[in-house]
A and B are shown apart, each in its own frame.
Chain A
């Protein structure tokens, strides 16, 4: 059991490091982890789940708004602004970064640019979602194997 826990611990550390090195996550994610303690052991998972829900709602709304005949760019911008805010709050750096050119295209009322950014932001969101789910799965496996991870 101890061997398995040690192996999972190493795997988790390497995986976490890769997420930071590849720019999927930034220091804000560390801040979230610091806010997690015994009184709130699932804080990070809870916040990240809220982020998933919120992002999916916003991405759907963006997809609907951007195919309309008369595009309400103020509305598009408001959605992108929301997405930028929540992605920066959890440290989903690559999602947040795509929101910057996206907002510029909104200001220019550039439909093509907006649609291109929507594809990019969807792509980045799917990537970081899969990565975070893998990270949480590794943590659950480690706990089940009797290991613990530094908070």
Chain B
């Protein structure tokens, strides 16, 4: 755990006591929701889980804001492409990372163009997450 905290502080350059990174997990699959929640938690990142793109929009409409959004692609009600477009249209500038089991060359261009900062193929791992957190830091510095 200590290593993870050191990593996260080094990567994100924030004091976990006063300025914790927050994340939103957008995924319809319970297995992935549980793993991603636990992965982020193990790195000291507070996070909330919603089940589709529409719910991600609703959470933002209620005034919540997250440093990082992990967005699945294929979901019922509203998919990741539409949700990402809508969030960007709402003026959300925080890091949105597409996370899907589609390989990079499998129709993800449209997803990236909807406004992603990064794309990672599932399964998500600690090392992939650390690479994502570097982007969050870069985004925060811009």
Contacts and interface: CB of A to CB of B under 8 A. Distances in A.
Q: Tell me, yes or no, whether A binds B.
A: yes
Interface of A: 28, 31-32, 34-35, 37, 40, 43, 46-47, 50-51, 53-54, 78, 81-82, 84-86, 88-91
Contacts of B123: 28, 31, 88-89, 91
B31 interface: yes
A54 B34 contact: no
Interface in B99-129: 100-101, 122-126
B49 to A, nearest CB: 13
A141 B106 CA distance: 45
Nearest to A84: B101
26 contacts: A28-B123, A31-B126, A35-B38, A35-B39, A47-B35, A50-B34, A78-B74, A81-B101, A82-B29, A82-B74, A84-B101, A85-B31, A85-B100, A85-B122, A86-B29, A86-B31, A86-B32, A88-B101, A88-B122, A89-B29, A89-B31, A89-B35, A89-B122, A89-B123, A89-B124, A90-B35
Nearest to A99: B101
**By DSSP majority rule, is chain A's interface helix, strand, loop, or mixed?**
helix
Interface of B: 1, 29-32, 34-35, 38-39, 42, 74, 100-101, 122-126
A89 B36 CA distance: 10
Contact of B35 (A35, A53, A78, A81): A35
A51 B31 contact: yes
B126 A47 contact: no
B31 A50 contact: yes
Nearest to B28: A82
Contacts of A53: 30
Q: Which 5 A-B pairs have the closest CB atoms?
A: A85-B101, A86-B31, A89-B123, A28-B123, A35-B38
